Structure 1
């Protein structure tokens, strides 16, 4: 678990740098150089804060649910029913499962980004925190059921989660950054570096350039590889 933040940083850095590498050889790739600059100059402190907050919350919620099994079972039942209704509880590898996982996570990430246009800074981190609470509950349930939670994390969450967590944290980062800018403008009457139109374009660009591709990779792994690893 302690290595997860470093892995997420490496995934995001490698993902953005690979496009910069191609650009240096004469191929223009839809503003990935600008995305990297935004991350380095503006997003990075928020990204690291939310990343460590997410990992910490998973750990805290795991131990909290272990000590409160009744609450944990209610949350897992609610989560299970929700996933079942969406057709996302399948034991066998499936591209259909990958597609449904991708749609679900893409919508969650979109909510994190778009709520950033509201000048209430805590909304994107709150949405991210709800996902991390669910992960903590799943690990606690594995422990409650007599399984090794570390093995569950290693085989059932980490392979796809390293991409999914990076994408969700990045989405929450963009949403939080934009929300901070909006709050400065509306509440503090301070001049901000970007117009509302530019902030909107930043949200759209980050979503399509970074968040969706990483979620697609995560969905393919979770839908095709994770069921095999958990057998």
Structure 2
């Protein structure tokens, strides 16, 4: 297993590193901008936060056919884990579409939502710091790392496909078979384990912290 992750680290440095950090830094900037805007557009951010919360509640209830309050911790964990696996997979697969940095923009949208939610909480008068520390940070730091890594994988696919289609530089791009094999390997050995850990923390730890401190 050690050899697997050493090899994956080499792949990361060669194929994913630039996209990973570009996406992460740009997304953080967008998040900060969205949060800052909440001080000038309070009503809008409150409405959007309420709409997002309602949508998330409906999605989870629809998946399980139950209200959120009726879900056990294990069911909540499975719902979160499965949903995040799908989001990560979609992010990677967007790389197949020959539009420049499409996976990155999909991830940026996730950070916009986060910025809007925390901006809305601030506009409502809630303690953003407490919400961030106790209901978001414990699982999100791992979850978002997994999603940004998914973006890096998708961007790797995207870059190679664009090179093949538009620049005709087949020598400078990876063969499709090798491309997909490497991407699947990275998703299985890096993204899925991170999402598993994040979902576990969110279901069993973050929920307890929220109940205790918020």
For normalisation by structure 2, the TM-score amounts to 0.88
- Residue 119 of structure 2 is matched in structure 1 by 140
Distance in 1 separating the partners of 2:180 and 2:206: 35
Contact kept, 8 Å, 1:117 with 1:179, in 2: the verdict is: yes
Aligned residue among 69, 73, 87 for 2:46: 73
CA distance in 2 between counterparts of 1:70 and 1:147 reads 14
Unmatched tracts of structure 2, length 5 or more: 62-66
TM-fit CA distance, 1:93: 7.0
Aligned partner of 1:151 in structure 2 is 130
Q: Work out whether residues 104 and 151 of structure 2, in 8 Å CA contact, stay in contact via their aligned partners in 1.
A: yes
Unaligned runs of 5+ in 1: 1-18, 24-30
Cα distance, 1:142 vs structure 2: 1.7
CA distance in 2, matches of 1:159, 1:74: 26
Q: Determine which of 102, 108, 112 is the counterpart of 2:87.
A: 108
Cα distance in 1 between the residues matched to 2:189 and 2:9: 11
Task: Report which of the two has the higher share of helix.
Answer: 2
Q: Tell me how far apart the structure 2 counterparts of residues 58 and 190 of structure 1 sit (CA, whole Å).
A: 36
Cα RMSD (Å): 1.9
Superposed, 1:32-47 pairs within 5 Å as: 32-47=5-20
Q: Which residue number corresponds to residue 215 of structure 1?
A: 195
Indicate the SS of the match to 2:99: coil
Residue 90 of structure 1 deviates from its aligned partner by 4.2
Runs of 4+ more than 3 Å apart: 88-93
Name the counterpart of 1:184.
163
Q: Is residue 141 of structure 2 the alignment partner of residue 162 of structure 1? A: yes
Q: Distance in 1 between matches of 2:165 and 2:47?
A: 40
Shift of 1:176: 1.0
